[in-house]
Amino acid sequence: MRNFTRRLPAALITAAAVAMVGPAGAQIAPGGGPVAYGADNSEYIDSEGVFRLIGRAEMIQGENRLRADTIDMFTTPNQRGGASGGDVREVVATGNVYFVTPIQVVRGDRAVYTAATDQVVITGDVILTQGENVMTGSRLTIVVSTNRATMDGTPSTNGSRVRGVFYPDESPARD
């Protein structure tokens, strides 16, 4: 199995998940490992190079979990000339998207991981929580290789706004 993603920043999301479709594998957690998946239904369309999980779709790797109404995994053509079964080129999670790690939860309406650009883009009503800290916006873009993330604001009457609430560490300072 080829590891097609790099290590992700712990504070951010990736929707880079793929079930076993030919030689392609999945990486939604640092360090890789086996991927468990489940859904109400699944569909494999060889001519389009897509494996689809439908209804309460989820993928689990290590301590990370990706959930959505539907998860589509698109592959590149394989070396034998078939339409699919190569490496993952894109993963699209739609409807009630959640990515859960041991320290955070990201929620959005749609998440797209594109291997060629090594970017994850989460759109819709995006909510990022870590403990009590919360950040909201309409689009979260993560460049995985550089660990750079950008949250775009939600349109409002005052323009686009990113909003957040951060709780400082209340522990006493140590000398």
Over the stretch 20-45, which tens digit does the pLDDT of each residue have?
333 244 455 555 667 788 999 999 88
Tokens of 142: 């993560």
Q: What would the mean pLDDT of 4-22 be, rounded to a whole number?
A: 30
Q: What backbone torsions phi and psi does residue 47 show, to the nearest 5 degrees?
A: -65, -25
Question: Longest Cα pair distance anywhere in the chain, in angstroms?
Answer: 65
The answer to whether 107 touches 85, Cβ cutoff 8 Å, is no
**pLDDT value at 170 more than 60:** yes
For 100-159, the pLDDT digits (tens) are 878 788 899 999 888 788 788 889 999 989 899 999 999 988 776 676 778 999 887 777
Q: What is the pTM of this model?
A: 0.74
